[in-house]
Structure 1
Amino acid sequence: MKNLPILLLLCVAACSAYPLDRSARDEDSNMDLLQDYLEKYYDLGKEMRQYVRRKDSGPIVKKIQEMQKFLGLKVTGKLDSDTVEVMHKSRCGVPDVGHFTTFPGMPKWSKTHLTYRIVNYTEDLPRDAVDSDVEKALKIWEEVTPLTFSRIYEGEADIMITFAVREHGDFFPFDGPGKVLAHAYPPGPGVNGDAHFDDDEHWTKDASGINFLLVAAHELGHSLGLYHSTNTEALMYPLYNTLKGPARVRLSQDDVTGIQSLYGPPPASPDSPVEPREPEPPAPGTLAMCDPALSFDAISTLRGEILFFKDRHFWRKTFRTLVPEFHPISSFWPSLPSGIDAAYEVTSRDSVFIFKGNKFWAIRGNEEQAGYPRGIHTLGFPPTVRKIDAAIFDKEKQKTYFFVEDKYWRFDEKRQSMEPGYPKQIAEDFPGIDSKLDAAFESFGFFYFFSGSSQFEFDPNAKKVTHVLKSNSWFNC
């Protein structure tokens, strides 16, 4: 038994070595991952490999900081747990650069009509589902540019769409399930413009696997000339953001600004929302559109445009012009009052509803609709409600939200009736929106709430504020 203490000590030493060995292996694995990630996505030269395992190496610390800043992480310059977690996430295989950046040299298509061809299919989805999602993904970009697309079934298209696994002939092999989901090439001849999808992924139409529509819309952004964005809400952000619903596949303003920097805005529609008129200069004493203190009375979309109402005037913002037009309200709709309280568009009815006090009007383009104004209580509001502060129409749900003081009501546009169970507290269902609202509208699937000179971008699926901006940020100030 004299040997027992020695045996016990040996056991303790041997057993305690296992966690140390595992920790060392984990650290080695993380350093290998870091090296691979920085080389693939942050232009780390092969000559820098020798410095990767030196934690205090200046160039490596700078590269880690660059990565952390780009991906929206806390910038520590250290390989912390949050950074390791992000490096393990699924993503696009195209390298990262800053802001809504285009490829070096800003390559773009020299024509506005492009062809695409779906070369082969995944077994994960029906063929018609892939066809439909590709068409939808291209439509997302088509709506904000002069670009149009048509499909061909044989020969060489501008954009060739392929499913492949591992090595597939372009010297950028896929890596199996997870990590790199797809990659695409900038505009140009040959392989340029093409989009490749890793068929080792589980492609789906929902969030149960990798949503094909979401990834296709991102990759086709590369095919049109966009690089990656640092904006975590942008479609061109490099990491795969799990879908919270079909409405999640949409462009942010950052994406729109990026693609329009290459191709410009879409052409004017023959069905113009309102007749064009000579813009009026701001009246003396009126706040300039870039004044940081500017606030709005009401905001509404109108057939793809955005109308910002203030006193007797409104700014007319389109994606075809950088500078908004400025007009008197009466020059388009003589019967509408000034200083309106709220406005919203019901796209399915091609109508905009304007509220002031206890009355509301309806307009369609330049025309004021007969039978108005009507009393707001005909919509189902109780007598205690005397005015509306703001309103938003949710196109996906076909519901309108009315905001009054610290409460809100919801109106079913299909049934033309106020829903039971309301009012509810704004702060409970719209976390982060705790100020009295001046105006609101919906764009790209986000709700935009305005209070004084501040604007809150709200994601209705995630139920959180994603950005706080100046109210006049839409004016490119």
Structure 2
Amino acid sequence: MPTLTVLLLLWAIGSYSFPATSDTHKQDVDMVQNYLQKYYNLERGTSRSGEQKSSDLVAEKLKQMQKFFGLKVTGKPDAETLNVMKQPRCGVPDVAQFKSTPRSFQWERTHLTYRITNYTPDLPKKDVDHMIEKAFELWSNVSVLTFTKVFEGEADILISFYWRDHRDNSPFDGPGGGLAHAFLPGKEIGGDIHFDEEETWTNDFRNYNLYYVAAHELGHSLGINHIHDIGSLMYPAYIYYGDIQLSQKDIKAINALYGEHKEKYFGRPKEPQVTKEPQVPQACDTKLTFDAVTKVSRDLFFFKNRFFLRTDDSQQEVDFNGISLFWPLVGAGVDAAYEIAIRNEVFFFRGSKYWAFNGDQPKYGYPRDIHSSFGFPGKVKKIDAAVHQEETGKTYFFVANKYWRYDEYKKSMDTGYPKAIIRDFPGIGKKVDAVFQNDGFFYFFCGTRQYQFDPKTKRILSLLKTNSWFNCK
């Protein structure tokens, strides 16, 4: 496919803001091409006479992918787009009909059987059985569907672990990439779930949680497509928060296919495992508060729960994304964050641990402990806010009603700290939710208020809304 390859290569070169070798570009070009073919139905093969048509088609597919994941829609394989493409995910396409079969998109009956045909050596057999059973219970609790496990013979849904090419026209790609896939309801292979045996399957946060992936793939087996809402279990990227639940959109999707059985909600002594759909921050909410704020390069990142909002200098674009999608090692939730721009380093804090990144690439040897690294006393359980002052090389850490000052060059806390926040930052209150520096000023976020503060004169210059950085009417 020479025309498509050249097209993508030229775009990739123009999209990078950091040095990269031609080999790196070639790898990214191949990845983009394969990703769009696999998940967005980009046609394979083209001709020189169809060069412009091919170019338009690739751009359209890229826009489709970017819109689905809530990225800036450029039609080009920019750094953010490449980052999302590199994330582990479900092997089912995001568009059209995934793993098509001759059957309709739902089962004709509501009682189904399943059988586990083989087991991964990564986990004890009883753990696999338990996690698969929980995945079925998750969907059964909110629908009219019931499931029975069988141990031999035929079953509606067969669950298997496979390597690479396993003769279903959807070969696995090795560690990372596509983790598993499933087929629509129907006869023969319809409804079956396949896990990539080259992945490392676990029952916790390490590598890939089998229960989480099984629950997602079962949604496909029952007839549900991917949902672009990052709070949904049916979101295509692997984002495991430790709490596996169905969003309202997941429940609406399963009930649209099979109907709702109200007795299941009220007839059981145990409440179904359902919560309200996670709240995605709304940029123009007048009551919006933040957990952390930091600059990364020239963009501002605003963190709230397990999401972040991003805005550029123009304030015209605000992107909503999951923290784990861009910084998977950090997981869900950020207490504090700061950037040392001269080193291209960004630090994220959660609880007593912190992570360091060069851009979006994790640094080796993290997470580390805040007590052994910075010298915080044991009573400090987490950092509320942090900001680095470029002019002095000092980093300020805010904890409850006090603050510490850390020398990034000496790698030690300055003497005489902690000090009371109200002493050196009068007027902002006793506690700080988030803070960042811009053009020499500190911007403190305290509840729904934001203060522009001059650290030289120790004066508040202006009082702002927390969402003043967004293009709100």
**TM-score of the two chains, using structure 2 as the length reference:** 0.51
Partner of 2:87: 89
Q: How does 1:175-214 map onto structure 2 within 5 Å?
A: 175-214=173-212
In 2, distance between residues paired with 1:228 and 1:154?
31
Partner deviation per Cα, 1:84-112 (whole Å, 9 max, x = no partner): 11111111111003899x99985101111
Q: CA deviation at 1:268?
A: 2.2
**Pairing 1:173–2:168 present:** no
Partner of 2:61: 63
In 1, distance between residues paired with 2:121 and 2:446?
45
Partner of 1:35: 33
SS at match of 2:160: strand
Partner of 1:225: 223
Structure 1 52/72 Cα, relative in aligned 2: closer, same or farther at 3 Å? Answer: farther
Structure 1 44/80 Cα, relative in aligned 2: closer, same or farther at 3 Å? Answer: same
SS at match of 2:263: coil
Root mean square deviation, CA, Å: 3.8
8 Å CA contact retained: 1:90, 1:179:
yes
Partner deviation per Cα, 1:374-425 (whole Å, 9 max, x = no partner): xxxxxxxxxxxxxxxxxxxxxxxxxxxxxxxxxxxxxxxxxxxxxxxxxxx9
Structure 1 151/108 Cα, relative in aligned 2: closer, same or farther at 3 Å? Answer: same
**Of 236, 239, 246, which residue of structure 1 is paired with 2:237?**
239
In 1, distance between residues paired with 2:259 and 2:107?
12
**Of 255, 260, 269, which residue of structure 2 is paired with 1:260?**
255
Q: CA deviation at 1:154?
A: 0.4
Q: CA deviation at 1:193?
A: 0.5
State the AA in 1 paired with 2:60: K
In 1, distance between residues paired with 2:224 and 2:165?
25
State the AA in 1 paired with 2:187: P
**Pairing 1:114–2:127 present:** no
8 Å CA contact retained: 2:104, 2:186:
no
In 1, distance between residues paired with 2:103 and 2:120?
34
SS at match of 1:57: helix
Greater CA radius of gyration, 1 or 2? Answer: 1
Structure 1 74/154 Cα, relative in aligned 2: closer, same or farther at 3 Å? Answer: same
In 2, distance between residues paired with 1:252 and 1:63?
28
Partner of 1:73: 71
SS at match of 2:34: helix
In 2, distance between residues paired with 1:137 and 1:176?
24
Partner of 1:155: 153
In 1, distance between residues paired with 2:116 and 2:108?
22
8 Å CA contact retained: 2:203, 2:209:
yes
In 1, distance between residues paired with 2:104 and 2:39?
19
In 1, distance between residues paired with 2:82 and 2:34?
12
Structure 1 21/205 Cα, relative in aligned 2: closer, same or farther at 3 Å? Answer: closer
State the AA in 1 paired with 2:61: K
Structure 1 spans left out of the alignment, 5+ residues: 1-19, 274-301, 307-424, 436-477
Partner deviation per Cα, 1:107-161 (whole Å, 9 max, x = no partner): 1011111000000000000000000000000111001100000000001100000
In 2, distance between residues paired with 1:257 and 1:99?
19
Structure 1 427/112 Cα, relative in aligned 2: closer, same or farther at 3 Å? Answer: farther
Q: CA deviation at 1:48?
A: 4.4
Name the stretch that deviates more: 41-50 or 189-198: 41-50
Partner of 1:136: 134
Q: CA deviation at 1:52?
A: 11
Structure 1 272/130 Cα, relative in aligned 2: closer, same or farther at 3 Å? Answer: closer
Structure 1 79/179 Cα, relative in aligned 2: closer, same or farther at 3 Å? Answer: same
In 2, distance between residues paired with 1:250 and 1:204?
18
SS at match of 1:162: strand
SS at match of 2:179: strand
8 Å CA contact retained: 2:433, 2:447:
no
Partner of 2:337: none
SS at match of 1:83: helix
SS at match of 1:124: coil
In 2, distance between residues paired with 1:433 and 1:304?
37
Structure 1 196/233 Cα, relative in aligned 2: closer, same or farther at 3 Å? Answer: same
State the AA in 2 paired with 1:186: L
Q: CA deviation at 1:30?
A: 1.4
Structure 1 148/304 Cα, relative in aligned 2: closer, same or farther at 3 Å? Answer: closer
SS at match of 2:228: coil
8 Å CA contact retained: 1:103, 1:225:
no
SS at match of 2:109: coil
In 1, distance between residues paired with 2:58 and 2:27?
17
Q: CA deviation at 1:428?
A: 5.0
SS at match of 1:92: coil
**TM-score of the two chains, using structure 1 as the length reference:** 0.50
8 Å CA contact retained: 2:117, 2:159:
yes
Q: CA deviation at 1:60?
A: 1.3
Partner of 1:44: 42
State the AA in 1 paired with 2:32: L
In 2, distance between residues paired with 1:65 and 1:231?
17
Structure 1 99/252 Cα, relative in aligned 2: closer, same or farther at 3 Å? Answer: farther
Q: Percent identity?
A: 45
In 2, distance between residues paired with 1:133 and 1:305?
14
8 Å CA contact retained: 2:157, 2:191:
yes
Count of residue pairs brought into register by the alignment: 267
Partner of 1:342: none
8 Å CA contact retained: 2:135, 2:218:
yes
8 Å CA contact retained: 1:38, 1:63:
yes
Q: CA deviation at 1:77?
A: 1.0
State the AA in 2 paired with 1:251: L
Structure 1 154/304 Cα, relative in aligned 2: closer, same or farther at 3 Å? Answer: closer
Q: How does 1:223-372 map onto structure 2 within 5 Å?
A: 223-241=221-239, 243-245=240-242, 247=243, 249-269=244-264
In 2, distance between residues paired with 1:135 and 1:271?
22
In 2, distance between residues paired with 1:266 and 1:38?
39
Q: CA deviation at 1:266?
A: 2.0
